[in-house]
Structure 1
Amino acid sequence: MKHSIMTVLNKRSHKPSHFNQLLTTLGLRQTAEPQLKAPTAKLGKAHGSRAIKQNTSTNAQDKNRVTGRIQITAQGRGFVQPDNPDAEEIVISACQTGTAFNGDRVQVKLSAHSQGSRSNSRPTGAVVAVLERKRTKFVGTLERRDSSYFVVLDDSRISQPFQVAPPKKGRAKLGDKVLVALKKWSSARDIPQGEIMETLGPANGKGVDMVGVLRQYDLSAEFPPEVLKEVKRLGSTVTKKDLTDRTDCRSHPVITIDPADAKDFDDAFSLTRAGKGRWKLCVHIADVSHYVKAGSAIDKEAQLRANSTYLVDRVIPMLPEALSNHLCSLMPHVDRLTKCVEFLITDEGKVLRSSFYAAVIHSKQRYSYEQAMDVIENDPSNPLEQMLHSANTLAAKIRRRRIQAGSLDMDFPETKIHLDAEGKIKKLEAVDYDASHQLIEEFMLLANESVARHLQKLKRPSLHRVHEEPDCERLAEYRTEVRKHGIQCGDLTKTSEVQKLFKRLHEHPIGPVLKIGFLRSLMKARYAAKPEGHYGLAKTFYTHFTSPIRRYADLVVHRSLFGETQEINMEDIALHITDKESNSTDAERDSKNLKLYSFLSAQLETKERQAYTALVTEVRNIGISISVSELGLKGMIPFSQLKDDFYQFDPAKNIARGQRQGRLFKLGDEVQVVIAKVDSDKQRLDFTLSSNKRRSERAPRKRRARKRGAKRAALAPA
């Protein structure tokens, strides 16, 4: 309700409204007037909206003041997305973020040039007030400066340490990781005041790093007792009563394909012939809504968590393990309940029709991606393997049709971290996005879109996955960057031109890095109560239906699709789960980076430095920026680290040249590097060239070209 009112009041076209008019605008009945007055009064105190005589509401904020949610980068720059979804994003310089932290809801005063309607650039402004803190507790390291104690926060986006009282004897020690609560910070000129709430242990203590992530992002693997009691009452097997009004698919050749270490199997499929030139594809999704009823203790906890969080060493599940890994999980050789989307598809991958029903399955085989790929690459030896071959062929045709329709190839390389018993990195593995991954993705995309279209026909309240078109100014900035590298680039507001660019980047040495740069120029996908389209997939209607074990959005969509009772405000839940998704993404990233930075720091301490292949992404006056794909990290080779020569930066040619030996560094070069310096606080890595695996620039040109070609082949998607 609060968000809906703010959206109306913040619209530029808004005029003072009677409560009756507000009720109509918000789609509420007259009987809802008491519910409207309460939140409007609260908003008046917090945000400047006020009720005036004759029961009239108005927006009392100055026209040059806007409220919204701020995102702050590691460099300190801020971007405010106004509460009004139609308003433009506001850029905040690092010195104008005031006392805001990343994710806070703030009030911004627009700069003078942004108030005019003729400005072609994005509006800018300064934070003048923090209206709502997203987070008030943070993790950091206790330090002492002179006679004062401070906590230096782990979050690199917060440069200000919190001043705290001297810890009592036997409590926190210098160098300990602690959980600190913000108590007071009224002005950017002041020092934030905090209070230590919990001592986690020595910064380098075993497991302390991951405990810090859990506390920082308010994650817990423990479930309330009332939730566990409800789960226990559900039992552990599918009963005869559960099969009422279900289509029996237990004899069908149903299989699952998931990561080798997965335990929560959301989806399965079967593929059979349906006449000449036609296929019947059944996409089965775990029927979580059969067990988790709206309003139950399990449901309330799942809604609060909103999604599962996959840290580098553990999973923080949305549902208790008895459900997520067992009763709801589509395990092989046992009966499981599903919601099924059945398709009739031509040999060319065109969907002729789809239907939706509750089912029961008995999965015949559980494949890991590696096992499925091994089947695809060899001759089939049994009916299930033959089905997998047919599914791969059909999925490739569906994918081709999707790309032709304007969908973007948004697949990027990933690195999987394997830990030993001590929680230290023992192996880094590049995740190959091969045909087995693409097969599953295409079938899931098909199901998600089909459900979204059907929901639109039903006109039932539900959730949708939205990916807005990119900001034109950001695209222009990215286009300028691409053209600096001598790469032809058209109008990127058209997905057809983006596809052409991706093909060119595929052939360019620095292409993988520039492709990631494009991803960062896009808007973030989010959940919404209305279908607003998905830019990246080029789909008018899209939702999330295929992962109800780990995403609450999918559970809501299941209930909507099958007409199950749920009394929730879709706008409010969309905002909540979008926010929680962002929280989990940050936690997952931090958990990986903590392990990687510790891994590299250990190499410095033991002097057993591993060599990595890096790609030169930029040449600057202070050194060479690189991307290390094996680590999934960026870094710098400062010229001060290059002892073999004195290097001079040539900005016109964007190269660095050694003055004595003439060695060159330029964009797209591959270099072998080792770690030289790790700054965890500033999230900065310095590398130097590997002495034993250095590649000479003086090598024959043909040899260099072959090596770069081999690298491109390795980076190319399957």
Structure 2
Amino acid sequence: MKIRKEDILQYMRKSSYKPLDLTELISHFKVSKKYRKVFEDLLEDLRLAGDVVKIKDGRFGVPERMNLVVGKVKMNRKGFAFIIPLKEGEEDLYIHANNLSGAMHEDIAIARIEKRPKKRKSEGRVVQILKRSHKRLVGIFEDKKDHGWVLPEGRDLFQDIYIPLDEKSGAKNGQLVLAEITKYPVPNRNPEGRIAKILGFPQDRFIETKVAIEKYEIPQKFSENANRESLNCSHPDKKEIAKRVDLQSLPTVTIDGEKARDFDDAVSIEKTEKGNYKLWVHIADVAHYVREESPLDSDAFLRGTSIYFPDLCIPMLPERLSNDICSLKPNEPRLTLTVLMEFNRDGERIGYELFESVISSNERMTYEDTKKILVDSDKKLIGRYSYLLDSFMNMVELCLLLKEKRDKRGSLDFDLPEPEFIIDATGDITNILKSERNIAHKIIEEFMIAANETVASHLFLNHIPSLYRVHEKPDSEKIKEFNEFIKDLGYDLKGIGKIVPKALQGLIRKVKGTPVEHLISSLLLRSMKHAFYSKDNIGHFGLASKMYTHFTSPIRRYPDLMVHRILKKILNHGRLTKSAESGFEEKLHNIATHSSVRERVAENAEREIIEIKKIEFLYDKKDSIFSGIISGVTAYGIFVEISDLFVDGMVRVSSLKDDYYFFIEEKHCLKGRHNKKVYRLGDRVKVKVTEIDLKRREINLEFAK
């Protein structure tokens, strides 16, 4: 009998269940010797996920029946912490500094509930640490002659690391270093470590990026074997071209950002005599060069994705491939996988083909130049690209049809502007511009979504094991909290008991163009779940799509590369053999999990650098006045998002000298006791920068007079 995790949990949740050890559980479930290792692995997965706990005498049970909570440690700079339960819906648990039992920030720990006060959070004690979050930390080295200390970077790491004299490795006072923890903290003793790497001084060029790379353990160098393999890759020869559909004479363009160097998608379009649209989406055939279980494949899997910092790109593949062999450069033959789709005049897909191809892109277009042709009617550019004008106009027509069709089903489109950094040769930001999506961005977005959906539906409906890009419905409690929040801004979500994409889409449309658009859209994004990769197709809530995958960026995303491999096997062999299908099934879960984790690491690293760069940009802007909008109100201060920079600073209550202000929690506002002045969410304000704390990454503001 096949035993599932659900079977184990169901048994342990019974009121009659008493904690059993491994031998007793094996006996109960009648596990044969052959499947003992599989059963042990299931138990270990459940333990690491926090669904099951193993107590000191080796017995297993579910935490909720043992007065235990499993969660992530969130430290406070005052020394105490909270356990944030892994299970949604459970209450945070307060942990006094004396009851941490050596736990550090972001460790996964088991805590026992010891007090349940009526008007405060429950209190507890850490009894077991399941997983250490930090093996290495980046911080400032403080030299004390016979020893040293590393003061960790980041606002949530407050335990300094003791460095013995013989583990300083030549670090100088004030340098940023990478410390490796050799002994974790115990009560009344700090963690101990050694200097593993010296990064430089805080004022050095590009130091923030170096810190992020070490902090998030991002691999920078490719293995020697992977580099050697990439150098052996060559441009397509006549023999390979002859095996494929030759589309080199088809008018084709890439449309990317000004700074892009890896072009993994190109498009072609024609209008038929019936008024239908034939759209070709060509994607670089990376799988032709990166073979399964090769050194290149191992390095790409480890990275999972390319990472883009304002001053540096860390590619998933060596530049020989990402920027040359696989990149769809103009007027050079390139191997591709093509999705040919035909749409009628209502934007409905009425047919498609998938095949291996070879293309030669006519032009490397940028979003800005394409927009100048289509929107600004730039005469010089229109003359330069006159032979492509019909294609561009057809692209606009089809883009609008596809967008309208997507809107009708409830697809969410936040359309949030992002900051674009202007960086000089020393790595300093000279300006921050507001980067907005134009019609060219929307054309590529719609065409890539259409291709991804076509590939996903082809694989799913043909019962072929694959990877999907999935997005679950938002948690109802989070949507309720979000709704309470926006009511103070004059908005209300209908039908929050059973939320559907159309309801959220309606709100996004209502706030579009208003001063609170960015605030509400950002809060809504935070209230929704993260999209992730899965071998099971559960649909994509945000896109209101029943079947969706990532196929269009194999140069920079590992899941896309995996989907290509599966598709190529189908195209070349008709369908997967039983052995190949079994092999894919085994791999897909691990690839999906690993790729989702690597994506989050990349996002966190990129976001952190962007926030640091914004704060650094403001560092020499002390006493400058900016426009902003109140994005949060607390008893101790008012958060203000500085317009166009999209960075929050705080106006502390102590700086409000004109009156005594009290906090009205249910109204999310501060109100003056005598002058009755109110500061509330969404108010437009003028603020002055008074202080920048680079270490804590805090911006202090005052209201400008």
The change in CA–CA distance for 1:551 and 1:74 in structure 2 (over 3 A counts) is farther
**Measured at CA, do residues 60 and 74 of structure 1 come closer, stay the same or move farther in structure 2, by a change above 3 Å?**
closer
The CA deviation at 1:543 is: 0.9
C-alpha distance in 2, partners of 1:391/1:530?
33
**1:443-480 CA distance string (max 9 Å, x none):** 11111111111111232222111111111111111111
Which residue in the other structure is 2:595 paired with?
577
Contact 1:528–1:574 under 8 Å retained in 2: yes
Q: Which moved more, 1:489-498 or 1:95-104?
A: 95-104
Find the counterpart in structure 1 of residue 555 from structure 2. 549
What CA distance in whole angstroms lies between the structure 1 residues aligned with 2:536 and 2:106? 23
Letter in 2 for 1:445: I
Taking the aligned partners of 2:181 and 2:426, their CA distance within structure 1 comes to 33
Alignment partners' CA distance in 2, 1:465 and 1:354 = 21
Indicate which of 560, 566, 569 corresponds to 1:560. 566
For residues 113 and 409 of structure 2, the distance between their equivalents in structure 1, rounded to whole angstroms, comes to: 40
The structure 1 residue matched to 2:431, chosen from 412, 422, 427, is 427
Instruction: Confirm or deny that 1:669 pairs with 2:680.
Output: no
**Structure 1 residue 595: Cα displacement:** 2.1
1:654 aligns with 2:653: no
Contact 1:69 1:103 in 2 (8 A): no
Closer/same/farther in 2, CA of residues 240 and 45 from structure 1, 3 Å limit: same
1:523 aligns with 2:529: yes
Are the aligned partners of 1:92 and 1:125 in contact in 2 as well (CA < 8 Å)?
no
User: 2:417 aligned with 1:413, yes or no?
Assistant: yes
Q: Could you tell me which residue of structure 1 aligns to residue 18 of structure 2? A: none
- Letter in structure 1 aligned against 2:65: N
Contact 2:284 2:326 in 1 (8 A): yes
Match of 1:64, as an amino acid? R
CA deviation digits over 1:413-443, x for unaligned, max 9?
2101121111110121211112111111111
**Alignment partner of 1:268: what SS?**
strand
| SS in structure 2 at match of 1:196 | strand
Structure 1 residue 127: deviation in Å? 5.7
Residue deviations 1:279-326, cap 9 Å, x none?
Answer: 100111111001111011100110111111111210111000000001
Distance 1:170 1:441, change over 3 A: closer
Contact 1:625 1:637 in 2 (8 A): yes
Deviation at 1:35, TM superposition (A): 6.0
The aligned amino acid for 2:431 is K
Structure 1 stretches of 5 or more lacking a match? 24-29, 51-56, 83-87, 114-121, 695-718
CA distance in 1, matches of 2:338, 2:164: 58
Is the Cα–Cα contact under 8 Å of residues 90 and 123 in structure 1 kept in the other structure? no
Deviates more, 1:186-195 or 1:335-344: 186-195
2: CA distance between counterparts of 1:374 and 1:427?
23
Report the counterpart of residue 713 of structure 1 in structure 2.
Answer: none
AA of the residue aligned to 1:254: T
Task: Give me the whole-angstrom Cα distance separating, in 1, the residues matched to 2:63 and 2:249.
Answer: 66
1:299 alignment partner in structure 2: 297
Instruction: Say yes or no: does 1:629 pair with 2:643.
Output: yes
TM value normalised by structure 1:
0.82
Residue pair 1:623, 1:637 contacting (<8 A) in 2 also: yes
Which amino acid in structure 2 is aligned with residue 433 of structure 1? Answer: R
Q: CA RMSD in A?
A: 3.7
2:65 alignment partner in structure 1: 64
CA contact (8 A) 1:177 1:203 kept: yes
Of the three residues 437, 441, 447, the one matched with 2:441 is: 437
Match of 2:546 in 1: 540
Give CA-to-partner distance per residue, 1:18-50, whole Å, 9 cap, x none. 699899xxxxxx997476367469779989789
1:561 Cα shift?
A: 1.9
**Preserved CA contact (<8 Å) 1:90 1:125:** no
Q: How does 1:14-163 map to 2 (within 5 A)?
A: 33=35, 36=38, 39=41, 60-61=61-62, 64=65, 70=72, 79-81=84-86, 88=88, 90-93=90-93, 95=95, 98=100, 104-107=107-110, 128-143=127-142, 149-163=148-162
- Identify if the C-alpha distance between structure 1 residues 275 and 45 changes in structure 2 by more than 3 Å, giving closer, same or farther: closer
Q: How far did 1:273 drift?
A: 1.5
Equivalent residues of 1:152, 1:161 under 8 A apart: yes
Q: How does 1:185-224 map to 2 (within 5 A)?
A: 185=184, 187=186, 190-224=189-223
**Residue pairs, 1:166-245, within 5 angstroms:** 166=165, 171-185=170-184, 187=186, 190-235=189-234, 237-245=235-243
> Superposed, which structure 2 residues align to 1:499-518 within 5 Å?
499-506=505-512, 508-518=514-524
Contact 1:307 1:550 (8 Å CA) reproduced? yes
SS at match of 2:128: strand
Tell whether the 8 Å contact from 1:658 to 1:664 is kept in structure 2 after alignment: no
Aligned to 1:617: 631
Of residues 62-71 and 373-382 in structure 1, the stretch that sits farther from structure 2 once superposed is 62-71
Counterpart code for 1:321: E
Partner of 1:287: 285
Deviation at 1:655, TM superposition (A): 5.3
Q: Kindly tell me: are residues 556 and 471 of structure 1, through their superposed partners in 2, closer, same or farther at Cα, counting changes over 3 Å?
A: same
Spell out, residue by residue over 1:137-182, the C-alpha distance to the aligned partner (whole angstroms, 9 max, x if none): 1111124799974322223232333233357788223322111122
Structure 2: gaps spanning 5 or more residues: 15-23, 571-579
Task: Read off the aligned partner of 1:443 and give its amino acid letter.
Answer: F
The 1:629/1:9 distance shift into structure 2, 3 A limit, reads farther
12 and 384 in structure 1: CA distance in 2 versus 1, 3 angstrom threshold: farther
- Cross-structure match for 1:268: 266
Q: Deviations over 1:350-370 (max 9, x none)?
A: 111222111111101111110
Residue 326 and residue 191 in structure 1: after superposition, are their counterparts in 2 closer, same or farther (change >3 A)? same
Q: Is the 8 A contact 1:92 1:126 kept in 2?
A: no
- Aligned pairs, number: 657
TM-score (norm: length of structure 2) = 0.84
Matched, 1:255 2:253: yes
Query: Secondary structure at 1:447's aligned position in 2?
Result: helix
Is the deviation greater in 155-164 or in 341-350? 155-164
Change in CA separation of 1:531 and 1:378 when aligned onto 2, cut-off 3 Å: same
| Matching of residues 279-358 of structure 1 within 5 Å | 279-358=277-356
Contact 1:280/1:342 (CA < 8 Å) preserved in 2? yes
Residues in 2 aligned to 1:430 and 1:384: alpha-carbon distance in whole angstroms? 29
| Percent of aligned pairs sharing the same letter | 29
Aligned equivalent of 1:699: none
8 Å Cα contact 1:231/1:322 also seen in 2: yes
Which moved further from structure 2: 98-107 or 386-395? Answer: 98-107
* Corresponding letter in the other structure for 1:590: E
* Matching residue's letter, 2:414: M
Cross-structure match for 2:701? 687
- Cα deviation for residue 486 of structure 1 reads 2.8
Give the letter for the 1:36 counterpart: V
Partner amino acid, structure 2, of 1:384: L
Distance (whole Å) between structure 2 residues aligned to residue 344 and residue 476 of structure 1: 42
SS in 2 for 1:163: strand
Q: What is residue 652 of structure 2 aligned with on the other side?
A: 638
On the 8 A contact 1:172/1:199 being kept in 2, the answer is: yes
